[in-house]
Amino acid sequence: MSHPNLLTSTREPLDVELKVKEGKVPDDLSGFVFINSGAGTVNSGGLPYERKLPNGEFNQEFGSPVINGDGYMYRFDFTEEGKVKLKTRLLKTPCFYADIASSPILNPNNPFADIAFKNRGLARMSMKLGTRNQINTAITPFRKPGDKQSRLLATFDAGRPFEFDPKSLDLITPIGENKFWRAGTPPFLNNPFPMVLTTAHPVYDPETKEVFSVNFTKTTRNLLSATEIFHLIFRSEEEIERRLEERISRWEAIDDKEQVVKEVNDFFYEEATEKEPKSIWDKLRGWYWKLIGRHFSNEDAVYLVQWTGSKNPKSYKIVNENGSNIQIQHNMHQIGFTKDYVLLADTNFKFTLDVMLNNPFPNNQRIDSFLRELLDGAQNDYSTLYIVHRKDLVPENKEVKAHKVVLPVETVHFSANYENPNGVVTLHAAHNCSACPAEWVRYYDECKLHNKPIDPQRVGMLAVGEMDIGKIGKIVIDVKNRDNLEDKTVFLHLEGKPGTKDPGPHTWGVGLYTYCDMLSPDKNVGEIKHIFWQAYGLDDQLLTDFMYRLYQDPKRNRVYSAEQMLEFTKKGAPFVLETVETDSMKATDHYSFPAHTFMWSLQFIPSKTKNNAIPESLNGYILCTVIGEQKNDQQTNSYFSEIWIFDASDLKKGPVAKLHHNELQFAFTIHSVWVKEAAEVSIPDYKIDIKQDYNEQIKHIKRRWLRKKVQSLMNDHVYPHFR
């Protein structure tokens, strides 16, 4: 069934068999594909985020990025020949139930409306409850020692991972108690739902049965940038909004940006501390903030988390080779490993509070636009890798030194060959050059090429209108001898022929990728031979005026100038699925998607039939989630959500099957994984007692009235779901 909005997603639980629209489901498919996604909030009932609420009021969530939404898991079952069965469920964390209970939209008269969560850019936050852990990004398979079948983790950049049952898709347990994880917010914010800065891609080594993750903190100054006291503004939003509007005209006339930032900071600080105190507690809080609060902060620190199924993981502080703390500039979205090393990356994805909180008044276009212009910044045009020797991860070492490597390109995702002969590590990386996956299209944005309002159908999409060509990297590092082997390192960029129906393989907007046995819980890939890449193409409706100005600096490390990128974007290029053979680093096969067709997730499915005529790394299929535009009888646009399956050894012939269902609607899917089985798993002995875990958090809330209110909310509306 088609739908009128490009970004349409259901939150309903589905148990359906997909229908074949074109082609035939291959007989040699097997196993299960899991795909994670965000599907709106408890208030929205899915996507899109509508402009108006049912009562006619402006919707505070309108214009939110599509990646800010509750985790909604897809499970595709290929175990019956010729059939594809789909099961979907929301991933219902404790904060999910707290969100429902506190929502003033679902229940305007509920007593918890004053502590409700709200969308704040990339995050959904409550200044009284904390940050939603939406576990909507990726999936990591693993086995605890003694397991016969794999288990699954749902993951997020700003929350601890949760194990979920592969059969029912119900949550089983978070990994590690709250008190194990260091909160990413300043220490004085004693929220029951802490923001945990971690990686959306924890990794599992099936040879050693270890799961690796990270937990990092940033100083308040580095975490919040110019917004170091934004956590205080939500006490009186309407009054702050009115005062902001009064001052913006004067601020906009000041040319010195640093002076404006100082005045904005001073404004919020004065609003938070210099109001007439109403009680002795207000006076004490004011005294605290004036004398202590602005200096009470986290440290810059990185902790490597190692877990093999115990109640709480082990943690090692990772430091530079000179013993100094590591300062993360952006975030640690991706980590990796080889036989001898763990690879930690400061990746180019601004998923920290400075981006999360740069639109505290999303209803107010003037304030939102002003603060975004003031506070946002371009990502680095390089990325940093920290290489940790696994032999150093022993209990007696509380601190472990890492070898720092600076890569001359932006990186968000990468994989590594498991084998590292003589200490030589080989990475395969996606390079999103001068394109920003942490930015999204706002409802007031303008298209740079046409100086007209952006297509309303794109509002909320990632604003990844490229300001340079993307690259596919093979990076070779001699860790043993502290040498970057530049003669063996390749950064492949392919221009293709923009403006044509089939421009050929290209790297405009390099995105996700997949390969045979990627994230396998059963075996490591010693040497990755073929990788299947997604490239977004060139879309003038995703290159906003704001993004152009943010990344137009000619001093950036770039292949094409900003002016050249406008010309390329004017020509346009479609999404492409392409195969890169890693020995030669050449694109050997590709498929160009039709115009106005979006391919989001891709997953390699191995064939259950051995074929000696082709390499194992090509013997299988690529499943893709696809959204396309179609014309109806009234010549108005509508959109479909479909699953396309390609022969991995012959992409150019197009999909061998297209599948759909009337109830299948997705807006933006993200990471995926293939596993052999998805049977119900046993309850593990590391299962966390949710009531005990969160009561430990609640007792640290300093204000008695708030502590009592939160305890009541948890007792009545959260704990009953976690017996």
Binding site for Fe cation: which residues?
Answer: 201
CA 13 to each of CA 355, 451, 554, 698: distance values in angstroms, whole numbers, following the listed order: 32, 41, 49, 32
In the sheet where 597-606 sits, what is the strand order?
19-23, 657-660, 637-647, 620-631, 597-606
Q: Which residues pair with 602 in a beta bridge?
A: 624
Six-digit token pair at 479? 């860790």
Nearest to 333 by CA among 134, 601, 531, 137: 137
Residue bearing tokens 């108690």: 177
Distances (CA, A) of 422 to 101, 328, 404, 480, 545: 56, 29, 18, 7, 49
Residue pair 162/175 in contact by the 8 Å Cβ criterion: yes
Contact 714, 101 (CB under 8 A): no
Burial code (b: 16+ CB inside 10 Å, e: under 16) for 36-56 equals bbbbbbbbbebbbbeeeeeee
What sign for the dihedral angle of Cα 612, 618, 623, 629?
negative
Q: Cα–Cα distances in Å, from 483 out to 477, 488, 672?
A: 6, 12, 34
Report helix angle 257-273 to 237-252, nearest 10: 160
- The H or E element spanning position 163 is strand 159-164
Strand partners, 462: 440
- Beta-carbon neighbour count of residue 242 at 10 Å? 10
- Judge whether 90 and 162 are in contact, CB under 8 Å: no
Query: Residue 549: which residues within 8 A CB-CB, separation 6 or more?
Result: none
Q: What single-letter DSSP state applies at residue 690?
A: H
Closest CA to 317 of 336, 344, 346, 297: 344
Q: Token pair for residue 55?
A: 């009562």
Coil, strand or helix at 201: strand
Query: What are the binding residues?
Result: 201
Give Cβ neighbours of residue 479 (< 8 Å, ≥ 6 apart).
Answer: 341, 387, 389, 403, 420, 423, 424, 425
Task: Identify the residue whose tokens are 């051995």.
Answer: 610
Please check whether residue 684 is in contact with residue 309, taking contact to mean a CB–CB distance below 8 angstroms: yes
**Burial group, residue 398, by CB count within 10 angstroms (0-12, 13-18, 19+):** exposed
